[in-house]
Every structure is written in C-alpha cells, then in structure tokens.
Structure 1
C-alpha cells in the first residue's frame, strides 16, 4: 500500500500558552481518533508533527497512523515565531522521508501540509525564501490556519493553497478545526494522482475559508 505522508506544523510560541495549547493537544487527539475510524486512512496515512517557536522541533517523525503516540505539546513562556525555520526543517524532513516512484515501483502519494499559527513569522526573510522552496516539494495541498486575532491571513498566502480563519482559540473551536482536518485527509487519500490542488470538504461554522 502506498503511503500518504501528512505533515503538521504547529505554532508553539509564547502567545499559545494556556488554553490555546491545551486546546491544540485535545484537537490533535480528535484528529488521530477520527482518522483511525477510516480503514483506508489507517492503512495509508503516515504523520509528522513539527512545532515552532524560537526553535523548530520534529516531535513526531514520520510514523504510521496506527503507531502514532502523541507527545504532550508545550509552549515557552514567551518568544518568537520562527516559521521560516520550521519550513526549513520541514524541507529537510520531506527530502529524506518521501519515497519516489521508479520504473519498478510506485512511491508515496504527494504529501499534505497543514500549518497552524496565531501570529506572524519572526524570521521574515527566511520565511519568504522557504515559501518558494515549499512549492518545489510537490505537496498535494498546503493548508494554513490563522488562529486568533493576531494572526494574519496575508502572511500565509505566499505559502498555502488554502487559508483558513479561526477567530476563537478555545477547545471547541480547535476540536472542530482538527476534526475538519481529518476529513480533508480522509477525502484526499481517495482522490490522489492529480497535480491540481485537491478540493476541500465544507468547513464547520467555526472555520472561515479565506483563500
């Protein structure tokens, strides 16, 4: 069975401290639980989680969905949002992870990328450089979520095929977000093979699609 790699980048800068990061942890549990209800996703989905604040950390290397054990995601008390560094880390990860097709065998499906942030990139120049680099990696879909009042959709537009707006950052909102992400993955893994950006399932009322 061909793999569908899914990469999730999560903002863990200081502004995510408290209820927001607790809601993210709960939402990720919702995501994994929902995907495991889909037999096809259970066979094909492999997941990586990268967090970013002053550092970028791969807290879950590419792992089969059935084997995923979610680590507790934490935040520093304060600090910058090095999203460019996270993308640079992602680029190295993708280059080493993805199995390419050969004449003898088919490789992985084109990967999916989800990025969630509640702020703007602190490393602006690196971020801009990495946005261009991401376009060369062959993602089937890059979806960004601007969460909370300080996040700006315009910062995600150079990177993403689709940009979402999440106005509130409580547990209910993040639960709906990650449940919807599971629907995107589950629908996407049945309609792969096209170079075009995949069509998204309808979002819940808490999520506004702005791009």
Structure 2
C-alpha cells in the first residue's frame, strides 16, 4: 500500500485514427508511447508520479492502453491503425468514463491524484454535429465548485492540431481557458509537413510529462508546459484567444 500522501498525475494520450491519418502521420503517432516509455526509462523515479493511458478515436473511441506505469514489465504497447471518421464526442465521452474510474481507483489505493491531463491530437475537424461534440466536451470539463454540479474530476485539456484541424475549433478545447493555470494548444505551422509536426508534438508531450513528474517529485504540483522558446520547429503554441505565445 503506497503512502496515502503519494501523488499521481495521470496523462491520457488521445489520438485521432480516422482514415486521413493513414501513412507517415500514423507511423509517427504510433511512436509517441514508445518515445514516452524510453524517456521515462532514463529517470525511472518519475514513474512513481506518472501514469499514462492511450485512447484512440475515429467513428468510435477505444482504450488501447489502460492507465498504467509504462515501465511495468507486463505492459505491451499497442499499435494503432486507421478506421472511420472523426468523432470528438466519442473521445470525450470515453475520457469522462475512464477518468472517473481511474481516479476513483487510485484514491481507493491510497494515492492523492493530481488533476489529469489530456493530450488530444487530431488532423481534422469533428464529424459530429456541433451540439454533439460541444455537449460531450461540457460533460467532460464543466464543474461548479460552489454547487458541486458537473464533473469534479475534469481534466486539463491540451489540443494538438495538424493538417486540416481547425484552430477555431481546437481553441475551444483548451481547458482551462482562463486563469492562472490556463492551458494552451499546439498547432502545426502553415506549410509544414504533418508527419514531422506530429513527431515534434511528441517532443512537447515528453517534455511536459517529464517536467510535470519532476515537479511532483520535488514536492510541487501542476502541469508543466514547455517554454514556447523551446518548441520544436514547425509547431507553435497558442492560448484560448488564439494568441500565439
């Protein structure tokens, strides 16, 4: 039984596997979890603080790797393949279900759980109706502390967009969008290669996971974003107002 004060930060890597992701884009997306595993292996003490899960989505959403310690010898990293359309709503609904179950279990196991973080990578606009995906996103992210109405376990959401992903849609997925802990989105620079941008975005995810884990290990808390000056070429960061950082 872990020390009840031990804090865990869950990360959910959510990847669009619609048909438009086929080819080198999907190959580089498939490299994200192995690269995260390799990075954590260089500083295994961080695995006491970090848990990761992999979700893919197309016309539906599937948990491809349940929340886990990536360095657990029993973990087998899955390969993703393309299928279907681009249902943001399916991804958001599954995320709410998984986060609620995972956080509840971690707390039952004696952990203190930091607010989860979602890396949401897509190359296109949602094929759901606007009412469908916005409603599912509200169910995932809205919570009022005074009335205790909504989803108290809501995650921080960090969108990543390449190719045909609409920045005006993605900025609506940034959560929280305001305040001292506001999140941000990462976009492929216009004219850049989408597969190369995904590889660069993997670097951003790795940096955030390692920095956040180091922060927790040092007794602090909070999701850490890379400094905009340190971003890989071909990728830019922006806030919920659409202002580039």
What's the CA shift for 1:173? Answer: 3.1
Rounded Cα–Cα distance in structure 2 between residues aligned with 1:36 and 1:154: 37
Would you say the 8 A contact 2:8–2:111 is kept in 1?
A: no
Q: Report whether the alignment pairs 1:21 with 2:35.
A: no
Rounded Cα–Cα distance in structure 1 between residues aligned with 2:16 and 2:213: 25
What are the within-5 Å matches in structure 2 for residues 61-210 of structure 1? 61-67=66-72, 68-76=75-83, 79-99=84-104, 106-123=111-128, 124-135=130-141, 136-139=151-154, 141-148=156-163, 150-160=164-174, 161-167=183-189, 168-170=193-195, 172-191=196-215, 198-202=223-227, 203-210=231-238
Q: Residues 37-78 of structure 1: CA distance to partner in whole angstroms, max 9, x if unpaired?
A: 2233222211111100011111111111212421011002xx
Report SS of the residue matched to 1:65: coil
Rounded Cα–Cα distance in structure 2 between residues aligned with 1:206 and 1:41: 29
> Structure 1: which 5+ runs fail to align?
none
> Structure 2: which 5+ runs fail to align?
1-5, 142-150, 175-182, 240-245
Compute the TM-score of the two structures, normalised by the length of structure 1.
Answer: 0.86
Report SS of the residue matched to 2:71: helix
What's the CA shift for 1:189? Answer: 2.7
Compute the TM-score of the two structures, normalised by the length of structure 2.
Answer: 0.75
Rounded Cα–Cα distance in structure 1 between residues aligned with 2:197 and 2:21: 14
Higher relative contact order (CA 8 A, sep 6+): 1
Superposition CA RMSD, Å: 2.3
| Counterpart for residue 177 of structure 2 | none
| Counterpart for residue 180 of structure 2 | none
Report SS of the residue matched to 2:90: helix
Larger radius of gyration: 2
Residue correspondences, number: 204
